[in-house]
Amino acid sequence: MDIRKITRQVVFATIIGSTASTAIATSPPDHRDTQSTAATADQVATSPWISSSVPVPVRSRLEASHQVATQRLTTKAQCRALFADLNADGFEALASTMYYPASTASEKQVCRGAFGYTTVGSAPTFLCRRFSRLSERRAALVLIHEALHRAGMGEWPLDSDGLASGAINDLVAEACGL
């Protein structure tokens, strides 16, 4: 399926003032290897999977912040516990995420209030151009936030039991020291 078609199917949930937003959509195909196993700190690739269409400034920030996110998962038990509470492995969630650029339409709509978005439980995460202007620590927070959605964490208002985007960011900032 064409990524542009997937992106057009996304129903955006934006929270004014939030630093990251999740989009819930019809599920795009899961691009994970069906034989994947739980990752450990030693197994996590030093570089994330990034689509060749991701702009260079976003790619550079993504590569640096992915290392920071992995380091926080390695050194902060509370950070790993966020994923354990979802019966997931944080290293696997982060390592299996696939990064794509936000579509032109998303840049005009969702990216005004977000740095990235994803579909709960799905591997693709879409990054906005302004993601490149974040500090490495703040960008790592966004990556962990989106990895939590990858691991199954819902977000209010689309998940009535979920936390708002800002509350998820606060949780990640405290637990992961970001």
Q: What is the CATH number of the domain that holds 93?
A: 3.40.390
pLDDT tens by residue, 161-171: 999 999 999 99
Q: Classify residue 39: in a domain, yes or no.
A: no
Q: Classify residue 73: in a domain, yes or no.
A: yes
Which residues neighbour 151 within 8 Å (Cβ) at sequence distance 6 or greater? 83, 86, 88, 90, 93
Provide φ and ψ at 14, rounded to 5°.
-110, 140
Q: Classify residue 150: in a domain, yes or no.
A: yes
Enclosing domain of residue 165:
3-25+46-176
pLDDT cut 90: percent of the chain above it: 71
Q: Classify residue 37: in a domain, yes or no.
A: no
Of 66, 79, 41, 163, nearest to 116 (Cα)? 66
Q: Classify residue 31: in a domain, yes or no.
A: no
Please tell me the distance from the alpha carbon of residue 38 to that of residue 43, in angstroms, as a whole number: 9
One-character DSSP codes across 31-63: -S-TT-----TTTS-SS-EE-TTS-HHHHHHHH
Tokens coding 175: 């637990």
Query: For residue 167, with 0-12 CB atoms within 10 Å meaning exposed, 13-18 middle and 19 or more buried, which class applies?
Result: middle
pLDDT at 1: 37
**Into how many domains does the chain fold?**
1
The answer to whether residues 74 and 41 touch, using CB atoms and an 8 Å cutoff, is yes
The answer to whether residues 6 and 28 touch, using CB atoms and an 8 Å cutoff, is yes
Q: Classify residue 32: in a domain, yes or no.
A: no
pLDDT at 46: 59
Please tell me the distance from the alpha carbon of residue 89 to that of residue 132, in angstroms, as a whole number: 27
Tokens coding 77: 């038990």
Q: Classify residue 35: in a domain, yes or no.
A: no
Q: Classify residue 10: in a domain, yes or no.
A: yes
pLDDT tens by residue, 89-148: 999 999 999 999 999 999 999 999 999 999 999 999 999 999 999 999 999 999 999 999
